[in-house]
């Protein structure tokens, strides 16, 4: 996936970085914010956090947001993807109680971004449900679709005029499979094979409701783009025989198709392979109905076409093979019936689930083009974890190789419009605490100020954004980073002023 040729990023390709509220903001109970499911989960289970650090303070971006914007200016990014915390805006979860101070925080933060021509890309929901709604069933309760719609309405009303890019929901699979099916992520319900599927249906519908609301109320006025971010790691068969090939296709249908099909496929709905498999397994297990809830014709219609872009969160590739291993019953794992692994030669990161296999993005893009007719995509997350180290050569290598494969995919027809590095800075990696560092900037969590320091990867990313191609072997003299150039938007403005001045001069002195 790299033929040695240098490819340039298209002129309209945008670069950004990403974080989420729980992972960076801190101020967990300040200025009227209420408890989220992640606050509750990690407060109740401190032993589950790898290094004991939860999101109570995190990077303290609530107080350090100006420094965060300064870092974005140092990098020279076009946009910043961050999320809004539902319990900060609506402490009871419902629209009857809007926290003015919460809205004010995001308003001044967005203004700070706009001041420097950095476009906000807002994720409306990145895992932090108000605990009060969880007490009513959370995403397993079909009413959560309407609770989320109301929350989205409040956020759109407040910021639609300032925000050009919206992501309704981040990674339904992480919310549902890990949080409702499993116990390792908040809210840790552990209803595998049942609660996870109920949650998936509700989360997908909640997304569609929010999309339709923006489409009706704000699209004409502000012409923003609204998408959804989906976890899309690539999967290949361990050995290319028919059995493993079919198992891999089914694995993709369960991990990618389940979320992509309802929005981007021609006929909408969950993939028939998934519906058939869960129905068959459910019956075998004595259930009278499928554990996967049905989407009604109206719901299929609501979901179909409900996104302006596909947010692709891509980190790695898994190798798939069929298995006799007994997964718990019922469970999604048992419904799929496979085992995953990595090639031993793929470089390890600091996270057990993440190895470097950058070719996966090329294959993923071509797969999405074929299956879903060339969707418009934005890579809304891609990154690499290390220990606490400033010279992060492994992140630089992984990023450069990824870009080469991505550019090849673009040349071969992928409509990828932007790339978002995860993450701007080290943050609270959910249950892993701060033991897995994903930041382009290192954060000193011991310091009161949560001091941020640019890593080697920050300088390399900055250079790629400036030059718009990957310079193999380029190294900075040192790790100093500063704001040395105006952003691309500012440069465009300067060019525009220049043209206007020339026109004006020509008018004043027509014969010169």
Ligand X SMILES: CCCCCCCCCCCCC/C=C/[C@@H](O)[C@@H](N)CO[C@@H]1O[C@H](CO)[C@H](O)[C@H](O)[C@H]1O
What is the contact surface with ligand X in residues (CB under 6 A)? 20, 170-171, 174, 231, 233, 313, 315, 340-342, 352-353, 381, 422, 429-430, 438
Q: Which of residues 26 and 293 has its CB atom nearest to ligand X in the complex?
A: 26
Residue 252 CA to residue 232 CA, distance in Å, equals: 9
- CB closest to ligand X, residue no: 353
Backbone angles phi, psi at 34, to 5 degrees: -100, 180
Residue 139's Cβ-side half-sphere holds a number of Cα atoms within 13 Å equal to: 35
Shortest reach from residue 67's CB to ligand X, in Å = 21
> What does 83-127 look like in DSSP terms, one character per residue?
E--HHHH-TTSSTTS--HHHHHHHHHHHHHHHHTTPEEEEEEESS
Residue 123 CA to residue 126 CA, distance in Å, equals: 7
Q: Are residues 237 and 248 in contact, defined by beta-carbon separation less than 8 angstroms? A: yes
Residue 291 CA to residue 281 CA, distance in Å, equals: 9
Q: How many beta carbons lie within 10 A of that of residue 403, not counting itself?
A: 21
Query: Tell me, what DSSP letter sits at residue 481?
Result: -
Residue 124 CA to residue 134 CA, distance in Å, equals: 17
> Quick one: tokens of 503?
């026109």
Residue 436 CA to residue 434 CA, distance in Å, equals: 5
Shortest reach from residue 421's CB to ligand X, in Å = 11
Shortest reach from residue 170's CB to ligand X, in Å = 5
Shortest reach from residue 344's CB to ligand X, in Å = 8
283: which residues sit within 8 A by CB, 6+ positions away? none
> Roughly what angle, to the nearest 10 degrees, separates helices 144-159 and 100-115?
50
Backbone angles phi, psi at 150, to 5 degrees: -65, -45
Q: Where are the beta strands (DSSP E) in 144-294?
A: 165-170, 225-231, 234-237
CA-based nearest residue to 310, from 406, 219, 374, 400? 374
Q: Which of residues 110 and 231 has its CB atom nearest to ligand X in the complex?
A: 231
Q: Which of residues 253 and 429 has its CB atom nearest to ligand X in the complex?
A: 429
Shortest reach from residue 415's CB to ligand X, in Å = 22
The dihedral built from the CA positions of residue 409, 415, 418 and 419, taken in this order, carries a sign that is: negative
Residue 213 CA to residue 170 CA, distance in Å, equals: 18
> Quick one: tokens of 324?
């006799």
> Quick one: tokens of 101?
């101070």
432: which residues sit within 8 A by CB, 6+ positions away? 49, 50, 51, 351
Q: Which of residues 183 and 463 has its CB atom nearest to ligand X in the complex?
A: 183
Backbone angles phi, psi at 176, to 5 degrees: -90, -50
Q: Can you name the residues that pair with 425 across neighbouring β-strands? A: 441
Shortest reach from residue 1's CB to ligand X, in Å = 20
Q: Which of residues 170 and 290 has its CB atom nearest to ligand X in the complex?
A: 170
Q: Are residues 271 and 253 in contact, defined by beta-carbon separation less than 8 angstroms? A: yes
Residue 379 CA to residue 254 CA, distance in Å, equals: 20
Q: Are residues 309 and 417 in contact, defined by beta-carbon separation less than 8 angstroms? A: yes
Shortest reach from residue 255's CB to ligand X, in Å = 9
Shortest reach from residue 171's CB to ligand X, in Å = 5
Residue 358 CA to residue 439 CA, distance in Å, equals: 19
> Quick one: tokens of 216?
């009706």
């Amino acid at each position: 996936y790299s033929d040695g040729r240098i490819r340039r990023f298209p002129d309209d390709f945008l670069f950004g970085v990403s974080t989420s509220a729980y992972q960076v903001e801190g101020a967990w109970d300040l200025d009227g914010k209420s408890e989220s499911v992640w606050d509750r989960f990690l407060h109740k289970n401190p032993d589950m956090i790898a290094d004991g650090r939860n999101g109570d303070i995190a990077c303290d971006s609530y107080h350090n947001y100006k420094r965060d914007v300064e870092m974005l200016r140092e990098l020279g990014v076009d946009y910043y993807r961050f999320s809004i915390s539902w319990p900060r805006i609506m402490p009871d979860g419902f629209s009857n109680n809007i926290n003015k101070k919460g809205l004010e925080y995001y308003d001044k933060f967005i203004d700070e971004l706009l001041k420097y021509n950095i476009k906000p890309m807002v994720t409306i929901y990145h895992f932090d449900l108000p605990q009060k709604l969880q007490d009513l069933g959370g995403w397993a309760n079909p009413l959560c679709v309407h609770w989320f719609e109301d929350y989205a309405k409040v956020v759109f009303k407040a910021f639609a005029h300032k925000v050009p890019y919206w992501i309704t929901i981040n990674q339904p699979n992480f919310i549902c499979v890990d949080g409702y099916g499993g116990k390792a992520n908040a809210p840790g319900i552990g209803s595998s094979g049942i609660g996870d599927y109920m949650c998936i249906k509700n989360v997908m519908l909640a997304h569609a409701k929010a999309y339709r609301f923006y489409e009706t109320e704000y699209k004409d006025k502000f012409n923003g783009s609204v998408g959804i971010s989906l976890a899309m790691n690539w999967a290949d068969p361990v050995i290319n025989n028919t059995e493993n090939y079919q198992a891999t296709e089914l694995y993709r249908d369960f991990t990618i198709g389940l979320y992509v099909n309802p929005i981007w496929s021609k006929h909408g709905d969950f993939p028939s392979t998934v519906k058939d498999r869960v129905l068959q397994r459910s019956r075998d297990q004595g259930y009278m109905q499928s554990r996967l809830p049905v989407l009604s014709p109206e719901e299929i219609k609501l979901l179909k076409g409900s996104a302006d872009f596909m947010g692709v969160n891509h980190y790695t590739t898994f190798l798939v093979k069929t298995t006799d291993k007994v997964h718990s019953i019922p469970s999604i794992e048992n419904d799929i019936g496979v085992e995953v692994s990595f090639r031993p030669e793929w470089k390890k990161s600091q996270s057990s689930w993440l190895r470097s296999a950058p070719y996966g993005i090329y294959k993923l893009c071509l797969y999405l083009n074929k299956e879903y007719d060339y969707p418009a995509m934005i890579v809304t997350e891609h990154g690499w974890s290390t220990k606490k180290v400033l010279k992060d050569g492994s992140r630089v290598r992984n990023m450069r190789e990824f870009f080469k494969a991505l550019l090849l995919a673009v040349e071969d027809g992928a409509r990828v419009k932007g790339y978002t590095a995860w993450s701007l800075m080290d943050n609270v990696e959910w249950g892993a605490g701060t033991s897995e560092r994903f930041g382009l900037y290192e954060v000193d969590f011991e310091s009161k100020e949560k001091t941020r320091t640019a890593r080697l990867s920050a300088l390399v990313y900055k250079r790629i954004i400036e030059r718009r191609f990957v310079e193999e072997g380029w190294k900075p003299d040192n790790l100093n980073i500063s704001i040395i150039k105006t952003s691309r938007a500012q440069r465009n403005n300067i060019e525009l002023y220049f043209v206007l001045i020339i026109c004006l001069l020509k008018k004043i002195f027509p014969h010169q």
